Amino acid sequence: MPTDKIKLATFYFSPTGTTKKVIDYIVKGIEGDIICTTDLTKRYNREKTPDESFADAALIIIGAPAYGGFLYKEFRNYIKNLDFQGKCIIAVILYGNASPVFATREMISIIKKGNGKLLGYGEFVGEHSYSGKDIPVAKGRPDNDDLQKAIQFGRSVRDRLLNTEIWHFYNKVSVFDKIINFVADKKPVHTGKRMFTIPHTDNEKCIRCFKCIKVCPKNCISTDMTTDKNECIVCMACVKICPTGAREAYPKNIIFKLGLHSINKRKHESRFF
Query: 71-75, 126-130, 176-180: which has the minimum mean pLDDT?
Result: 176-180
Q: Any idea what the CATH number is for the domain that residue 224 is in?
A: 3.30.70.20
* Helix 103-113, helix 175-186: angle, nearest 10: 110
**Residue with more model confidence, 178 or 42:** 42
Q: Which CA distances in Å does 21 have to 12, 64, 150, 152, 180?
A: 11, 11, 10, 15, 27
- Flag whether 70 is in a domain: yes
Provide the CA 49 distance to its chain's centre, in angstroms. Answer: 20
Instruction: Tell me the CA distances in angstroms from 197 to 46, 142, 191, 269, one per residue in order.
Output: 25, 26, 11, 30
Whether the pLDDT of residue 3 is over 80: the answer is no
pLDDT of residue 58: 94
Among 130-139, 240-249, 254-263, the minimum mean pLDDT is found in 254-263
Task: Tell whether 176 and 78 lie within a shared domain.
Answer: yes
Same structural domain for residues 61 and 181? yes
173 shares a domain with 125: yes
Q: Is residue 77 domain-resident? A: yes
Same domain for 150 and 17? yes
Question: Which of these three, 186, 211, 237, is where a domain ends?
Answer: 186
Q: Which amino acid is at 73?
A: K
Where does the pLDDT of residue 6 fall: very low under 50, low under 70, confident under 90, or very high at 90 and above? Answer: very high
Split at pLDDT 50, 70, 90, the class of 167 is low
Tell whether the model's pLDDT for residue 93 goes beyond 80.
Answer: yes
Using CA atoms, how far apart are residues 248 and 238, in angstroms rounded to an integer? 9
CATH number at residue 23: 3.40.50.360
> Does residue 229 sit within a domain?
yes
Asked if 226 and 201 sit in the same domain, the reply is: yes
pLDDT at 233 exceeding the cut of 80:
yes
Q: Which of 164, 186, 208 is the last residue of a domain?
A: 186
Q: Do 115 and 36 share a structural domain?
A: yes
Q: What is the pLDDT of residue 169?
A: 61
Distance, in Å, from the CA atom of 197 to the CA atom of 251, rounded to the nearest integer, reads 6
**pLDDT at 43 exceeding the cut of 60:** yes
**35 and 112 part of one domain:** yes
CA 229 to chain centroid, in Å, comes to 23
Query: Amino acid identity of 4?
Result: D
* Percent of the residues in the chain that have a pLDDT greater than 70, as a whole number: 95
- Which is it for strands 200-201 and 247-248: parallel, antiparallel or unpaired? antiparallel
| 256 lies in some domain | no
Q: How far apart are CA 262 and CA 103, in angstroms?
A: 21
Residues 175 and 201 placed together within one structural domain of the fold: no
DSSP for 158-174 reads HHHHTTGGGPPP-----
171 domain-assigned = yes
Calculate mean pLDDT across residues 196-205: 94
- Which residues in the chain belong to E strands, given as ranges? 6-12, 32-39, 59-65, 88-95, 117-125, 200-201, 247-248, 271-272
Task: Write down the pLDDT at residue 184.
Answer: 85
The residue type at 58 = A
In this structure, are 23 and 116 located in the same domain? yes
Average pLDDT over residues 74-81: 94
Domain that holds residue 120: 6-186
Q: Residue 171: its pLDDT value, please? A: 67
pLDDT digits 0-9 by tens, 207-216: 999 999 999 9
Residues in the chain: 273
Number of domains in the chain: 2
Q: Name beta bridge partners: 65.
A: 94
Long-range contacts of range 19-22, CB-CB < 8 Å, 24 or more positions apart? 19/63, 19/64, 19/65, 19/92, 19/94, 19/126, 20/63, 21/126, 21/142, 21/147, 22/63, 22/92, 22/94, 22/122, 22/124, 22/126, 22/142, 22/146, 22/147, 22/150
In a domain, 41, yes or no: yes
Mean pLDDT across the chain, nearest whole number? 90
Give the model's pLDDT for residue 177. Answer: 78
What is the pTM assigned to this prediction? 0.90
**Cβ(43)–Cβ(73) below 8 Å:** no
